[in-house]
Amino acid sequence: MAIYESEHTKFMREWMEKHPQEIQEQKKGRALWWDKPQEVRTQASYDASSVPVKAYYYDTNH
């Protein structure tokens, strides 16, 4: 059974094979936007200070 692969995926796979230097650029971009160091204390503080949400947000009687 053949696995479907879109034209875009095929293009990107071939393009990355022809331009291996772009892997480093891709990693730098990911580090810029996504791979951030996490602080356990800060996250615990955020979790502790969160306010529970009402079951029905627009109910003004409760």
Q: List, for residues 13-24, the tens digit of each pLDDT value.
A: 999 999 999 999
pTM exceeding the 0.85 threshold for the entire prediction = no
Tokens of 46: 């955020």
User: Does residue 1 surpass a pLDDT of 70?
Assistant: no
Tokens of 24: 């480093």
Contact indicator for 42, 35 with CB cutoff of 8 Å? no
Give mean pLDDT, residues 33-48: 88
Eight-class DSSP state of 13: H
